[in-house]
């Protein structure tokens, strides 16, 4: 039986930077879309003032909005107008380093921010798949040629020692990591697991962690229905680690707030949350790997980081956070 052809889905860049638009368009020209995703993105670039001529009033679509150092009031107004025109559109911010893009992301609950000077075909492809298909969990969007699972694929439940879990996971992954990145890799594993045990298993509130009142106990009991799953996958250029809980208690806004508290923006001499008890771990993961957070509210949370063997490919500082409600 012949399948109907995929309808083109608009992917729109709105901004004044012609070179940036060209780079983005070049990324899309290099992507071959797997039939399984059933999407056919059609890229177009326009000045922000011309958004009404290209943004569809109904249906799916994806809009990249350029955020510049010149100020964010205009961009905020533009985002408001686009969201009012078609709430189904997925928004991505393309931001300068010197602007507080976190404020816009928090104001409009936008979980996708790409640095203007640091993106590549892999990021654009994965982001497009996630936002236009809803396929947010798992590794598939980041491994176009497939991946090998293991040597780590573990589910933890029952009585466990947190440090023993961290050490087991690190030792299983270590042989597959670039030796120059091993130290940072261990920190990432430690921080993501501590966060998961704190929120999903111990039920420690964000407020308690921020007040330095509570940390997870050295040993915890994990009910089977709240099991933690940890997976390592890899291909020739990178490894990926997934930590998944069964509660979905983290929130997009919480992650954005913590990343902002640990980020130095513009003329700031240091991050505003430099002395915070929480947030430093995920901030390190965000800065020195490719970091993804997937949340099915009150059902499960998955945090993924991708560690490339080529060191410089890890320094992209992309924010990719998706939060959805179960049907």
At 188-227, the pLDDT tens digits run 888 888 878 776 555 555 555 555 544 556 777 888 888 8
Q: How many domains does one find in the chain? A: 2
- Asked if residue 3 is part of any domain, the answer here is no
CA-to-CA separations, 202 to 176, 191, 198, 217, 304, in angstroms, rounded: 31, 15, 5, 8, 21
The predicted pLDDT at position 199 comes to 67
3-state secondary structure of 12: strand
- Domain span at residue 115 reads 8-133
- Which of 102-116, 208-222, 280-294 has the least mean pLDDT? 208-222
* Residue 56, domain member (yes or no): yes
Identify the domain boundary among 133, 155, 184.
133
pLDDT band at 1 (very low <50, low <70, confident <90, very high): very low
192-195-197-198 Cα dihedral, nearest 10 degrees: 170
Where residue 46 falls (left for φ over 0; alpha for ψ -120 to 50; beta otherwise) is beta
pLDDT value at residue 2: 43
Provide CB contacts within 8 A for 318, sequence distance 6+. Answer: 113, 114, 115, 118, 119, 123, 290, 291
| Secondary structure of residue 228 in the 3-state scheme | strand
| CA nearest neighbour of 105 among 325, 240, 317, 259 | 259
Task: Indicate if 313 and 216 belong to the same structural domain.
Answer: yes
Question: Residue 71 has what DSSP assignment?
Answer: B
Q: Does residue 291 share a domain with residue 212?
A: yes
Give Cα 121 to chain centroid, integer Å. 16
CA dist., res. 164 & res. 264, Å (int): 34
């Amino acid at each position: 039986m012949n399948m109907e052809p995929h309808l083109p889905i608009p992917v729109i860049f709105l901004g004044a930077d012609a070179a940036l638009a060209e780079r983005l368009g070049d990324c899309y020209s290099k992507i071959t879309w797997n039939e399984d995703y059933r999407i056919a993105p059609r890229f177009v670039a326009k000045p922000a003032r011309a958004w009404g001529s290209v943004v569809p009033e109904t249906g799916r679509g994806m809009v990249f909005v350029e955020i510049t150092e010149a100020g964010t009031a205009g961009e905020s107004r533009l985002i408001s107008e686009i969201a009012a025109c078609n709430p189904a559109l997925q928004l991505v911010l393309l931001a300068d380093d010197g602007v507080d893009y976190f404020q816009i992301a928090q104001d409009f609950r936008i979980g996708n921010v790409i640095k203007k000077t640091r993106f590549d075909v892999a990021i654009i492809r994965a982001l497009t798949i996630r936002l236009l298909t809803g396929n947010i969990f798992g590794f598939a969007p980041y491994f176009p040629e497939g991946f090998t699972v293991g040597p780590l694929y573990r589910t933890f439940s029952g009585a466990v020692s947190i440090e023993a879990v961290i050490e087991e996971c690190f030792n299983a992954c270590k042989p597959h990591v670039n030796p120059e990145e091993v130290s940072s890799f261990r920190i990432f594993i430690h921080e993501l697991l501590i966060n998961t045990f704190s929120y999903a298993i111990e039920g420690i509130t964000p407020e308690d962690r921020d007040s330095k009142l509570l940390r997870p106990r050295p040993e915890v009991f994990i009910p089977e229905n709240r099991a933690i799953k940890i997976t390592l996958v890899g291909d020739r250029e990178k490894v990926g680690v997934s930590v998944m809980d069964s509660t979905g208690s983290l929130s997009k806004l919480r992650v954005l707030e913590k990343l902002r508290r640990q980020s130095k923006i513009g003329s700031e001499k240091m991050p505003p949350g430099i002395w915070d008890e929480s947030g430093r771990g995920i901030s390190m993961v965000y800065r020195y790997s490719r970091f993804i957070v997937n949340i099915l509210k009150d059902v499960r949370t998955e945090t993924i980081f991708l560690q490339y063997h080529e060191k410089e490919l890890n320094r992209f500082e992309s924010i990719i956070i998706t939060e959805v409600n179960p049907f």
